[in-house]
């Protein structure tokens, strides 16, 4: 039976890769809704190619521009806008599968709505779990949703775990691999003058600017540790991070009997996307087969927390529990945006997150309202701190 998709964040890198896989299998997948924030021109191109019933953008002005261009081209896609419209297409009867690829906290509400509507969710928005872990997982379980990880590391772990959850007792630990980003071998003292262009120049993966910066600080890996804790129900001390510069092994599962299972492949997001889209089947993703003779060497090293303080901050937030991870995520989003806008230096990202975590108290994440209040408070604190800092020369 053909799957009907709502693709949240269709104009980003995950959206591009998802639509590439969808286009290869028109008999398996069709598109119900595409969403973007303000990239209206690209959304128009996607609508003309995939003819969704609905397109959602961030504001009225972008909606008017998109609708005008679609009507001129003879496309009858309905154009809506705003946060509620994202929620509506995520829980709509028009789709059975929601690909959650909006970056940041903005993806939480529509992804949670999809869970409460019992959808099949392909999760690329790690912030949904980082912010509201237990609340989100309870919604998945209570409403019969199916949660399939799309992040390459979590998808790799999912592939290496037994399908029967009852057999997970034999798991000793999971190992998340990380490329180390563009600054893996740089001396920490030299990172003060890093530019946004340097930080976004990932050695292996093609990603959006925010995620690229998170990879450079390794906050991305820290957020993935928190996500893995909720996805696979393992405590932080049984989740290990290893630097693996070749990005060939995407993650591993270590078992009590000494076995280690790893998932390997070329560094291309179409592989985990195709796996999750077709699961439990396997389909062509468009990715070339891995040739280990070309890779030749696989190396591993422990992360340096002096070089990557954001990773240590994320581990600390997970250990503290409560709303600490929501505070961490919010402060990081504000700091990364400020860095990309050249308002703070690269090393000030971790300093801002650390200062916000220390300044705000931690409480139990007892409800979504409490989580959202913590998120808002952390953003205010981060903005106040950044406004007090000198702008880099």
pLDDT digits 0-9 by tens, 61-80? 999 999 999 999 999 999 99
How is residue 249 written in tokens?
């092994």
Which of 149, 177, 201 is at the close of a domain?
A: 149
- CATH of residue 30: 3.40.50.720
Distance from C-alpha of 181 to C-alpha of 212, rounded to nearest angstrom = 8
- Residue 222 included in any domain: no
Do 247 and 264 contact (CB within 8 A), yes or no? Answer: no
Which of 102, 132, 149 is at the close of a domain?
A: 149
Q: Phi and psi dihedrals of 267, rounded to 5?
A: -75, 85
Higher per-residue pLDDT: 244 or 201:
244
Is the pLDDT reported for residue 366 higher than 70? Answer: yes
Distance from C-alpha of 120 to C-alpha of 6, rounded to nearest angstrom = 10
- CATH of residue 345: 1.10.1740.10
How is residue 299 written in tokens?
């190396």
What is the pTM assigned to this prediction? 0.91
pLDDT digits 0-9 by tens, 322-355? 999 999 999 999 999 999 999 999 999 999 999 9
pLDDT digits 0-9 by tens, 221-251? 999 999 999 999 999 999 999 999 999 999 9
- Residue 215 included in any domain: no
The DSSP call for residue 30 is: E
Is the pLDDT reported for residue 167 higher than 70? Answer: no
Is the pLDDT reported for residue 128 higher than 90? Answer: no
Into how many domains does the chain fold? 2
Which of 115, 149, 183 is at the close of a domain?
A: 149
Region 167-178: mean pLDDT is 87
Ordered DSSP codes for 127-139: HHHHHHHHHHHHH
Parent domain of 102: 3-149
pLDDT digits 0-9 by tens, 262-300? 999 999 999 999 999 999 999 999 999 999 999 889 999
Is the pLDDT reported for residue 206 higher than 80? Answer: no
- Residue 249 included in any domain: no
Distance from C-alpha of 308 to C-alpha of 215, rounded to nearest angstrom = 10
Distance from C-alpha of 311 to C-alpha of 52, rounded to nearest angstrom = 39
- Residue 49 included in any domain: yes
């Amino acid at each position: 039976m053909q799957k009907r998709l709502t693709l949240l964040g269709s104009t980003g890198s995950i959206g591009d890769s998802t639509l590439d896989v969808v286009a290869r299998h028109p008999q398996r997948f069709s598109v119900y809704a595409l969403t973007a924030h303000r990239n209206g021109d690209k959304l128009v191109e996607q609508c003309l190619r995939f003819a969704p019933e609905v397109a959602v953008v961030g504001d009225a002005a972008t909606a008017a521009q998109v609708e005008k261009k679609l009507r001129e081209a003879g496309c009858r896609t309905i154009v809506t806008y705003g946060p509620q419209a994202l929620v509506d297409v995520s829980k709509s009867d028009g789709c059975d599968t929601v690909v959650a690829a909006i970056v940041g906290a903005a993806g939480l509400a529509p992804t949670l709505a999809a869970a409460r509507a019992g959808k099949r969710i392909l999760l690329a928005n790690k912030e949904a779990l980082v912010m509201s872990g237990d609340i989100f997982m309870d919604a998945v379980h209570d409403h019969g949703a199916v949660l399939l990880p799309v992040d390459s590391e979590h998808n790799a772990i999912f592939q290496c775990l037994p399908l029967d959850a009852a057999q997970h007792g034999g798991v000793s630990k999971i190992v998340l691999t990380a490329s180390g980003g563009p600054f893996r071998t740089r001396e920490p003292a030299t990172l003060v003058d890093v530019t946004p262009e340097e930080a976004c120049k990932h050695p292996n993966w093609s990603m959006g600017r925010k995620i690229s910066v998170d990879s450079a600080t390794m906050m991305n890996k820290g957020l993935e540790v928190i996500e893995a804790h909720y996805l696979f129900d393992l405590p932080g001390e049984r989740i290990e991070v290893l630097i693996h510069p070749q990005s060939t092994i995407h993650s591993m599962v270590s078992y009590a009997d000494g076995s280690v299972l790893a998932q390997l492949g070329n560094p291309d997001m179409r592989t985990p996307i195709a796996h999750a889209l077709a699961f439990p089947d396997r389909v062509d993703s468009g990715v070339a087969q891995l040739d280990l003779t070309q890779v030749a060497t696989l190396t591993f090293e422990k992360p340096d927390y002096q070089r990557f303080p954001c990773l240590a901050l994320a581990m600390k937030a997970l250990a503290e529990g409560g709303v600490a991870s929501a505070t961490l995520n919010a402060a990081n989003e504000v700091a990364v945006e400020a860095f990309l806008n050249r308002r703070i230096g690269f090393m000030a990202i971790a300093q801002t997150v650390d200062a916000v975590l220390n300044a705000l108290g931690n409480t139990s994440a007892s409800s979504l309202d409490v989580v959202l209040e913590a998120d808002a408070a952390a953003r205010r604190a981060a903005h106040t701190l950044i406004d007090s800092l000198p702008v880099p020369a």
